[in-house]
A = this chain, B = another copy of it.
Amino acid sequence: MDPRIREHAQIIANHSVDLAAGNTVVVDAHPVAEDLVVALHEVIGEAGAKPLWVIQRTGKRTGRAFLRAAGQAGEVDGSDDGRDVEFETPEHELALIEETDVYIAIRAGENATETSDVDPALNTAYNQARRPITEERLRKRWCLTQFPAPANAQLAEMSTEAYENFVWDAVNKDWDAQREHQAQLVELLEPADEVRIVSGAETDVTMSIDGNTPLNDYGEYNLPGGEVFTAPVPDSVEGTVLFDMPLYYQGREVTDAFLEFEGGEVVQHSASKNEEVLTEVLNADDGARRLGELGIGTNRDIDRFTYNMLFDEKMGDTVHMAVGRAYDETVGEGNEANDSSVHVDMIVDMSEDSRIDVDGETIQRDGTFVFEDGF
């Protein structure tokens, strides 16, 4: 076994979820990630904890088979033809999660487009029925991570070996050092009011984060971690942004997404490819035209876009903004939390001809922070 797999397992157990003797643990992973599951079973055995390996259906052959078969029973359109498909919450799975202390989800598959011939409405209806389980999971010590399977390398347009290097470089880090590094950024943002992002000729946007909470993501719930993120005050956003990294939404790539904000709302938008996808996102509901998140990526081992938001949004020397729903834990008491059915992240490369100003002071220039050498 590649020694980096055992290192990955150690970081999950000892850093991300803080595994302890007696803990009940669910490991949720496709068989293609078996090596990491085996390494986790070693760590779980050493810790005196209690493992169970399950395989969720999402994106898998089993999920496709189940949903398509369920779909044959009728439709999910709510039409009054007596053939509606209805899903119930799987009570046995809910009971499992209720008694679980630690939930480790490992992303990896054999085919990233496995469920491309499943009616999205079936998927949405099934996820709706499973919401009590999803919510219960978030109450546990949980971690979402990635195993570098060949299909995931393919999605990233990389060889498997290069993708393995990429994933383990981003994951197997000194997370205490990363936390301390990011704490300097949190310290700058905590008392701040206005943030201004400038990049190239087309990006110049300002927003207030007054009273909201900047959070330090150092590889606990997400592995890799590596960002500091907060919520903009919804009505405060003014200016223009060119998202020069691709946006990958429900299997379709949008390039050069451009947004113009007035009074917090997107008043103009364009894209050089698949503009209609961007339009679709913005038209989802009122909140979809306003920002719910501002994030600053700080994981410099993530040095390329891989069509996987678990990595992309943490890319070093980038900023991301999400239209749609804000995370409650980033919204200060009494402040408005932007509400929406969507949360779509989009990324700006800040490595050249760029700066971040906080209350009129530049805190990052061309990707280098004020507290770093070379600023």
A residues adjacent to B (C-beta < 8 A): 22, 24, 26, 31, 34, 37-39, 41-46, 48, 50-55, 57, 61-63, 65-73, 88, 90-100
Contacts and interface: CB of A to CB of B under 8 A. Distances in A.
By secondary structure, the A interface counts as helix
A2 to B, nearest CB: 15
Nearest to A54: B54
Which 5 A/B pairs are nearest by Cβ-Cβ distance? A45-B69, A31-B31, A92-B99, A50-B90, A96-B96
A136 to B, nearest CB: 12
Given A53-B54, A54-B54, A92-B96, A42 B69 contact: yes
Copy number of this protein in the oligomer? 2
A42 B66 contact: yes
12 contacts: A24-B91, A24-B93, A31-B34, A38-B65, A39-B65, A44-B66, A46-B70, A51-B66, A52-B90, A53-B55, A53-B57, A54-B54
Task: Indicate the member of A39, A54, A96 with the most B CB atoms within 10 Å.
Answer: A96
A99 B68 CA distance: 25
Given A50-B90, A51-B62, A53-B62, A69 B96 contact: no
Contact of A66 (B45, B69, B73, B97): B45
Task: Indicate the member of A38, A41, A69, A88 with the most B CB atoms within 10 Å.
Answer: A41
Contacts of A95: 95-96, 98-99
A73 B46 contact: yes
Given A24-B91, A45-B70, 7 more contacts: A22-B88, A38-B65, A42-B69, A44-B69, A46-B69, A95-B96, A96-B96
